[in-house]
Every structure is written in structure tokens, then in C-alpha cells.
Structure 1
Amino acid sequence: MQYCWLPQERREPVFREKPPVVLSSSRFQRIRANATQAAKQEQLHQQQLRNEADEKLRIGGEELLRKFAGRNLCISREEECARELKQMQDEHLEAKRLAEEEAKASRLEHQKTRRERIEAAQKLLEQLRPGPRELQCARLQSEVMRSVNAQREVQAEFVKATRRQEELDRKIFQEQVLRGFEEAQLRHREQCQQLAEHKKELLQLIAERERERQATKAKELEEALQERERNQRMLKEQQDKEKELQAARQRLKKEEALASLVMSDQRQKRLLMLEEVEQVQCDIHNKAKGHLEQLKRDRAKQRVEQRIQRNEKLAKELAPRLHYSAREDEERHKRQLEEMRKVHSAEQAKRRESREQAKNARLAVQREEEKLARRMRQKAAEDRKEAEKLRLQNDLTNVQFMKQQRQEHLQRIRELRRELDDQVKKRIEEETRPGTNYNREAQLEELREDAFFFDYARQLMDEAKAKGCPLKPFIRAVGQYKNDNRIGAEIRIPRHMITRLPMGRRAQGDSQAEGKEKSLKDQEPNANELSKEEKLLRQKIQENLKKIEDLVLQEGEAKKNPTTS
């Protein structure tokens, strides 16, 4: 028996080797052959592929030799440089040509868009002058009025349709009411006849039922009297039976009460006896239990004393043996330390050697990287020089192109300035030309504006009439324009009041005589042309006014016709 508080001997673990696997020679050869068969097949397949590739290379080489017959297949460095230079020149020329074409196309496109914008602006300015602007407002008002009138017409038609539908519904409802009233009268007559017949039948049935009820009532009364007598007899018999049963129950209750008293006395006596017996048993049990516990305590003390004595005896016997085992442990510990020192020194030497090898390898790699970096820097410097050269060449080309564009732009500006100078000179010459009536020019310009206004108004009124729009806004705009510009408000002198007789003698300060006045051609060199243009403009204005009046009259007649019809 071993104890945990005593030093124990070291026990070495026992390792058991696994039993060897025994194979026969035939089975070993078979396993070996199966293991190497896949590798052999793969080897054969790879060898076959290499042979096929070598054969293809040989055949291709022979064909190339037969085809070129000893000629040099690689171009020289000079040819390659010449080819690259020619390619760069072609690319430069192509880029230059494309840039010129793009510049020319953009210039033409710009000129085209500029012309279009100028034309659109002129057209817009023509429309935004005071007269046409008011006509545009009148056109919009006319369209709005057309939509309002159309809406009103639709609403009026809808109201008429609803009224017609209401009248039709009213007529239909009246007819339905009359028809229903007639049908109700017929039904009422039929119901009255049916009610009269039904009433007669009901009276007959009531009389018959009354007779039957009287007969049944008399019969039921007789049966009720008989039943009442029978019930009274049965009730009397039942009361007698209940009295007898009640007396018997009272006797039984008295007997049971006496028996229960006797039984309760006996039960009380038995309980007292049981309590006395249980008390005696408890006293005996308590005494025995105390004696048993005292015996247990004494036995435990004896066991503890015996164990202590036995342990002291074993300690005395094992003292020399423990001293011997401690010395062996110390020697074994020293041997292990020596072995560990040897292993540690060998590992240190091995680690030092591997560190030296890694350092040498790292230095070699570093030297290779430095060489590679030096070559890369040289190559980058060469590439940078080539890029700078190419960039300088591109910048030179760009500068030349911009210079050419600038010269073309300056040439266009000079031409434009020359044209403007010519126009200014012409205008100055016209202004300084003697005998020019600028007031007449202003009057003609006003006439042109009036002609344009009335022509534009007539066009808009035609369009509005075609669309079905009212002409009231146009009439208002035309009237306002006529009032503002005093068109049609000239002072007209009757023909019989016009005379050419001289009135009295000519005095100093009077106007020149007709014979002495300068001719119209001397006063204004272009008087004939201006008078012709003035006549044409006035004629055009009158025609447009007449057309406008016709349109107004047509609209008035169109408004009157629906009302009269």
C-alpha cells in the first residue's frame, strides 16, 4: 500500500513496439509493380510527345531551308532605323494634315453657325419690334379666346344635351307613371274581388271552426273533471305512503345514533392505548441509539491510534532507502546537464553556420539587385532623353500650327476691318452728298415699317381665321397702331376747293415762284425712285387694310348667321 505523503520512486514508461507486417515475396513484387506502372506509362507518354515535337521541328527547319535557300531572314539595324524614321515622318505629316482639316472644318462650322445665329437674331428683332410684338400678343390672345369660346360652346352644347335628356326622361317617367297607375287600378279591382270571395270563405270557415271548438271544449271539460278526480285519489294514497316512510326513517336514525356513540367510545380507548405503546418504544430506541454512537466514537479513536503507530514504523524502516534514491537522482541530473550542454553547443555551431550562409546569399542578391537597378536607371535616362526629344518636336509642330492659325485669324480681321472701313466711307459719302433729303428717307422708313406691320397683321389674321380664332385682338392691335401712327387721319381737302390761282402780289419774304423754284431732280437726285417706292408702299398698305376690313366683315357675318338661323 502506497501513501501520498511519502516520497515515491520514479517509474519509467514502457513503450511496446507494433508487431511487424509479414508479406510474401510474390505479394511484395505485385504491389511494387502496381505502384510503378502509372509512373512508367506517364514517362512513356512524355517521351512520345517529345519525339513528335522534335520531328515537327526538324520538318519545319527543312522546309525553311528549302524556301529561303541560305538568304538572310533578319533585317539590318540601318534598315530598321530608316523604316522607323519614315514611319514617324508619315505619322507627323498625317497628324498635321488632320489638324489642318479639323481647323478648316471647325472654322467653316463656326462661320455657318454665326450666319445662322445672325439670321435668327434679325428675324427675332423684326418680330420683337413694337408693332409685331403687339401682333404676337394679339395672336396669343386670339388663341386663348378661341379656346375659351370652344369651351363655352362645349358647355352650351352639354347644357342643351342635358336639358334634352331631362325632358326625355321626364316624358318617359310620366308615361311610366300613367302606365303604372292604370296597372295599379286593375290590380286593385282584382284584389277587391279576390278579397270579397276570400272573406266569404273565411266567414264560413270561422262558423265551422266555432262549432267544432264548442264540441271539443265540452269534451275536454269532461275529461278534465275525470282526470282531476283520479289525481286526487292518487295524491291521497301517496301522502299516506310518505307518512309511513317518514316514521320508519326516524326509527332508523335513532338506532344509528346509539350505535355511533358506542363505536366512538371504543375508538377513543384504542387511541389512548396506542399512544402509550409508542411512547415506550421511543424511549427504548433513544437509549439504544446513544449507546451505539458511543461505541462508534470509541472504535474511531482506536483506528486512528493504530494508523499512527503503523505509519511511524514504516517511516523508520524506509529512511535509508530514501537517502539512496536521492543520490542516484542527483547523478542522473548531472549526466543530463552534460548532454544538454553538448547538444546546445552543436546547435549553436549549426545556427552560426546557417546564419553565415544566409548573410552571404543576401549579399549576393543585394549585389545583383544593385547591378539591375543601375541598368534600369541607365535605360530610364535614355528613355527620358528620347521622350524629351519627341516632346520638343511635338511642341515645335504645335507652335508652328498655332502661328499659322494666328496669321489666318489676323488676315480675316484685316479683311473685316477693310470691309467696315469701306462701309463707313460709303455712309459718310452718302451723308455728305449735297441735295439729300434725310427727312424723306425717315418717312420712307416709317412707310416700310407700316407696310411690314399691316402685311404681318394680315398674315396672322389669315392664319387665325384658318384656325377658327377670333379676330378681335388683331382688330384692337391694328386700331391702336393706326391711332398711334396717325394712319388714315390725314386732312383731306375736297377737290372743288383746290385751286392754283395766285392770290395778290408777291412780296419780299414770300416763297419763290413756281418757275424760279428748283426742280425736284436738282433737289433730290433719287427723287423718282423714292416716289415710286412711296407709291408702292402706300398701295401695299391700302391693299392690306382692305383685306383686313374684308376679314373683319366676314367674321361679323359669320357671327350674325348663326343667330339669325
Structure 2
Amino acid sequence: MQYCWLPQERREPIFREKPPVVISNKRFQRIRAHATQAAKQEQLHQRQLREEADEKLRIGGEELLRKFAGRNLCITREEECARELKQLQAEQLEAKRLAEEESKAARLEHQKTRKKRIEAAQKLLEQLRPGPRELQCARLQSEVMRSVNVQREVQAEFARVNQQQKELDRKIFQEQVIRGFEEAQQRHKEQCQQLSEHKKELLHLIAERERERQATKAKELEEALKERERNERMMKDQRAKEQELQAAKQRQKKDEALASLVMSEQRQKRLQMLEEMEQVRCDIHNKAKGHLEQLKRNRAEERVQQRIRRNEKLARELAPRLHYSAREDEERHKRQLEEMRKVHSAEQAKWRKSKEQGKNARLAVQREEEELARQSRQKAEEDRRVAEELRLQNDLTNVQFKQQQREEHLQRIRKLRQDLDEQVKERTEEETRPGTNYNREAQLEELREDAFFFDYARQLMDEAQAKGCPLKPFIRAVGQYKNDNRIGAEIRIPRHMVTRLPMGRRAQGDSQAEGMERSSHKQEPNSEELGKEEKILRQKIQENLKKIEALVLHEGKEKDDQKNSKK
């Protein structure tokens, strides 16, 4: 700040408030940590969980294949409960481990916060060192701009890393889909192979049963033919013996012939019913083949033996009978149908039970997913609340800092007024002394202040460039200072317009008259010393301005190089 006691050159002090902080260092560090470390750790943890789940699934599948020799069997309720209990214990251990990791991370975060607070206090002490207010504000603005630029770079890097992670996840998902498709094809191929083998076994069994039915049918026909031949022989013998009763016997023969025809028709109907019943049993067996795979080998021979015994029993029952009873056959057929209905009802009940168990398992999984979603929502709400508290704390810190800044500003004004009063007092004392040019002393004081300002500005700009901070706030502060103090705005007179005639008012560029030089030397005995000091100060100001311009040009060149490299 410059001071002058001449009315036409008096300068009003300009006070500027410190610009608000755009983003705190703590928040910047937290954003960068969350943008890099947290995302990577979460992705790595999810990938490990997926690999562990795939490995467990593969090991479980191999164990099932070794245990059941390729048969597709459902696990029991006890095994399912044991597996759920084991999974619950593993989840509890995982939750305990995550809680320990979170507590450790919280301790580290507390230590980092304490360290950052200490660093912030040290920076605040550095900010309170003496110097022009405008340059201090420019230094803080430059640091804020550097943090903003770093934040933008971090955001760009985070966006790039996020895009790379998305591409990596997409590739991983494609590989998983392809691997799952290949596994599904392999399982489908194995199932088709097992189904073809099962079909071959069923066709072989059906062919055997068909041969057995044909053999039984041929045997029954042979027995019927033998019975018919025996009856015919008996009738012929009786006709030869009882010719006198031929008329009565002929009627009896007709009745017997009709009875034999009815019996043959009933036998044909019985065989047809047996074929239909066998066809129904085959259809039921084909529909329930998935539920009867584990019993097919043990019960196949038993069914064949039962069928053989039943056919033998039926053959023994039908052999001595001449009169066939349709009612007994119908009752036996009803009993067989009732047994088949009971078997079918039991299979349906078993199927419904398995379906209900699967539904309950899906509902349990859905409830677990809802619980996890609720916990994630609670965690997000807690994070949001913590973020709001941090934001409120930052705002409170900003308000306190502004209040402190206002108090410091008032203290500086009071101190400045005291200094002004002292300077006025000293100036009054000096004015009583003869032979002193007070205007020249004021100009030298202004030059000293200008030299100090530009030297301090050059030092701060060197430090900012070394730290990588932008120089735009310093350029703005230096330009404002030059405009306010009219530095570099002198009236420059061309050579052809410079005159040496001592007429009119003396201005810059006029030659010095001899009489005036002698009179000024007499009035100012220390004019030579003041002239040397003024020359040194002006030279120092010009050197600092040249250095500042060189720094600005260097920064612009670096920006152009960065733009060209990006293109």
C-alpha cells in the first residue's frame, strides 16, 4: 500500500476479501481415495467371491458325480439343512472379517484426518506471514485453482478407469456366458446320451414284454385248440354211442358250439384288455421315468417275475374252466386300475412336495436378497448422513475462518491507522526542517513499496510455478496493482517533439536548464543520493517485471505443449 500526502496524488486503499475456498484438501483426498482404492478393492473382492463360488460349485458337482455315478438325484432335506448351516457360518465369518477391516480402515482414516488437520494448521500459520494482501489472496487462489485442476484430472482419470473397468467386466461377462453356454451344451449332450440309453433299455424291455405276450397268447390259443379238439372228439364219441338221441344231441351240440364261440370272443376281449392295460402301464412308466430311475433295475426283474407268475396262475385258472366268468375279469381289471391310480397319486404327491420345497427355497433366497438390499439402503443413508455432517462441518469451518479473517482485517486497519498517525507526526516534524523536498521523499517511498511488491510477487510466482500452481491470479493482482498505481503508463514523448526551449511549464522530456539545476542542487543537498536510490529502485522494478513476464511466457508455452501433445 502506497501513501502520499499530496492532494493530487493521494491513493485510496483497496481492501479485497479472500475468495471462498472451492474445495478443501481433505475432501479432495477423500474423493481421490474413493475414486481409486475403494473401487479397485471392491472389484477385487467381488471377483474373489465369484471365483470362490465357481470353485465351490465345481467341487460340489464333481462330488455329486462321483457319489451318484452320473445319476441325476436330488439332495435330501438333511443335506440341504447342513449345507445352509455351513453357508450361514461362512457368511458370519465373512461379516466378522469385514467388520474388522472396516474398524481398521476407520482407525487409519482417523489418523489421516488428524495428520491433515495438523498440515492445515501449519498452512494457516504460513498464510499469516507478512506481505501484501492481494498477493496472499492470489497465492491462495492459485492453490485452489491447482486443486481444481488436479480434481479435474482425477475425475478424467476416474472416468477413464471406470470405462476400462466396464470394458473388462463386459469381457469377463462374455467369457462367463460363453463358458456357461458350452457347459450347458455339454450337459445337454450328456442328458441326451443318457436319455437315448434309457430309451434303448425301455424299448428292449417293451420288446421282451411283447414277446412274452405273444408267447402267452400262442399258448392260450394252443390250449383252446386242444380243448376244442377234445370236445369234438367227445361229441363224436357220444354221437357214435347215442345215435338214437341225435336230435336232442344236435341241439346240445349247437349250444356247446355257441358257448365255445362266446368263450373265444371273451378270450379275445380279455387279450385286448390286457394289451390296453399294458399300453397304459407303459405310458405311465414313460411319463414317470424321471422319478423311477433309481428303482428301475431293482424292480424290473420283480415285475417280470410277477407277470410270469400272474400269467402262469391265470393259465392254471383258465385251463380247467369251460365256462368263462366276465365278472371276475372285470373286478380284477378294476383292482389293477385302482392300484395304478394309487401309484400315480403317490408319484403326483411326491412331485408336488418337491415343487413346494423348491418354491420355499426360492422364497428364502428372495427374502435374503431383500434383506441385503435393505442393509445396502441403510448403509447408503448412513453414508449420506455422514457426508452431510462433513459438509456442515466444512461450512462451519469456512464461516469461522471468514470471521477470523474479518477480525484480522480490522486489526490490520487499526494498526495501519496507528502507523499513519505516526507517519503524519513524523512528516510534520520533517516539514519543520528546511532544505527538504517532501514530494521527492514521497515518490521514493512509493518506489520502495513498488519494488517490494514486485519482488514479493516474483518470489510467490516462483514458488507457485515450482509447486505446479497456475499464475493467473498473480497476473491479475500484478495488473490491478499496476493500473491502480499507474505503473508503466508514463507519457512518452517522441524525439522529434522534444524541445530544449525553457518556455511554458516543464514536462517530461524537457532539458534541464543550468539555472534550474543549480537552484535545485541548492534546495536539495542530497539530490544525488536520492537520484541513485531512485535509479536502483526503478532498475529493480524493471528486472522483476521482466522476470514475471518470463514466467508468464514459460507457463503459456507449457500449456501450448500440453495441448499439442493431447492432440
What range is the shorter-chain TM-score in? 0.3 to 0.5
The structure, 1 or 2, with the larger RCO (C-alpha pairs under 8 Å, 6+ apart) is 1
Select the structure of larger CA radius of gyration: 1
Q: TM-score, normalised by structure 2?
A: 0.36
